[in-house]
Structure 1
Amino acid sequence: MSPRLLIPFFAFAAMTATAADFEVSSPDLPGHRFAPNLIANGFGCSGGNQSPQIVWRNPPAGTQSFMVTMYDQDAPTGSGYWHWVIANLPPDTTQLPRGAGSQPDALPAGTLQISNDTGQPGYLGPCPPVGESHRYLITVIALKTARLDVPPGVTPATAGFVAHFATLGKASYTATWSR
């Protein structure tokens, strides 16, 4: 191979080796499984209904805000189930503490808790039907706008639609729960 052809190859390799990936994790979900304190307290479940701590790093350059969602892709609804949607997190935010989904004071000023699929704002823990195991997709979305411009009472699906057009990048983490 010609040395001239190797120069662009090594330059590209160096760029990709130093570019860190946008990542999300949760120390509260070891083995990608929910603990009882994070499970819903309702719908036949009797958990603590605390939202897990969520941590992210290496967001895309130009991020102006974040949106965090938790979605049950296996819910027997034909369209999944939104358990938690939170938007307008400032760009310097790198985590949500455990319990933030039910403690608005634990969130940065200006944060918007969008109603989950029960119609209530805040976190609703997992509670799949008896005999089923469900996957819950936790996603942190980096947005190029400082504020998600949505009306009061917006649905999770509509908030996701609006966010789609302002998305710079996404990082996801899947956890499971069975009953």
Structure 2
Amino acid sequence: MSLLDRATAPDPFDILPARPAFMLSSTDIADGQPLDSRFAHGSVGGENVSPQLSWSGFPAETKGFVVTCFDPDAPTGSGFWHWVLVGLPASVTELPAGAGAAGMLPPGAFHVRNDYGDLNYGGSAPPAGDVVHRYVFTVHAIDVEDLGLNDSVSPAYVGFNLAFHTLARATLRPTFQVAA
């Protein structure tokens, strides 16, 4: 079986406990639409810029947010974490394009190492000729101001903690593919 024959993985939220949804929008990305190369990794000719995101309609009891970007279609058996941003206060409801770069975060917020090994946003870079990949950008509204984590934990450990503190989620799922 070639990479082109591989089926896409299940959406990660199909196998986690259901949570109410709220609104996530962007001037840069759209659900089900291809990402502009600006948001792709430099290894595939991109600029590695995180997209603009804004959100509203989250539960009134929200005390903070976590932003993630996950590729469930990466040929790894465990997907690929492109962005894990922790510690956003409830007063922050928008991130400008480029906010995923080191040193561009609101006070108190921090990155957890992505699967490239970097403490920032890492753009899409699927293997050339692979299936169309989905990039699940998610804002998690959480019930605590502080998850008690630091930048040395893994994205999976952040996800484990989110399972117990997520009140609601908002998602956008743009796509990206590199021609063979």
Q: Same fold by TM-score, threshold 0.5 exceeded?
A: yes
Computed over aligned residues only, the root mean square deviation of the Cα atoms, in angstroms, reads 1.5
Q: Deviations over 1:129-149 (max 9, x none)?
A: 111210010110000100121
Q: What is residue 53 of structure 2 aligned with on the other side?
A: 54
Q: What is residue 25 of structure 2 aligned with on the other side?
A: 25
Alignment partner of 2:100: what SS? Answer: helix
Rounded Cα–Cα distance in structure 2 between residues aligned with 1:33 and 1:61: 33
Rounded Cα–Cα distance in structure 1 between residues aligned with 2:84 and 2:21: 23
Rounded Cα–Cα distance in structure 1 between residues aligned with 2:92 and 2:122: 22
Conservation of the 8 A alpha-carbon contact between 2:48 and 2:121: yes
TM-score by length of 2: 0.83
Alignment partner of 2:35: what SS? Answer: coil
Conservation of the 8 A alpha-carbon contact between 2:102 and 2:119: no
Aligned counterpart for 1:122 among listed residues 112, 117, 120: 120
Q: Where does the alignment leave 5 or more consecutive residues of structure 1 unmatched?
A: 1-19
The higher radius of gyration belongs to: 1
Q: What is residue 42 of structure 2 aligned with on the other side?
A: 41
Q: Which structure carries more strand by proportion?
A: 1
Conservation of the 8 A alpha-carbon contact between 2:82 and 2:122: yes
Q: Where does the alignment leave 5 or more consecutive residues of structure 2 unmatched?
A: 1-19
Q: Deviations over 1:63-107 (max 9, x none)?
A: 0000000000100000100000001101011111100111423x2
More relative contact order, 1 or 2 (CA 8 Å, 6+ apart): 2
Q: Which structure carries more helix by proportion?
A: 1
Paired residue type of 1:97:
P
Alignment partner of 2:156: what SS? Answer: helix
Rounded Cα–Cα distance in structure 2 between residues aligned with 1:128 and 1:159: 23
Number of residue pairs matched by the alignment: 157
Rounded Cα–Cα distance in structure 2 between residues aligned with 1:68 and 1:151: 15
Conservation of the 8 A alpha-carbon contact between 1:150 and 1:162: no
**What percent of counterpart residues are identical?**
41
Q: What is residue 70 of structure 2 aligned with on the other side?
A: 71
Rounded Cα–Cα distance in structure 1 between residues aligned with 2:49 and 2:155: 20
- Alignment of 1:160 onto 2:159: yes
TM-score by length of 1: 0.83
Q: Deviations over 1:20-46 (max 9, x none)?
A: 95111221014632111111012xx11
Structure 1 runs of 4+ aligned residues shifted over 3 Å read none
Alignment partner of 1:163: what SS? Answer: helix
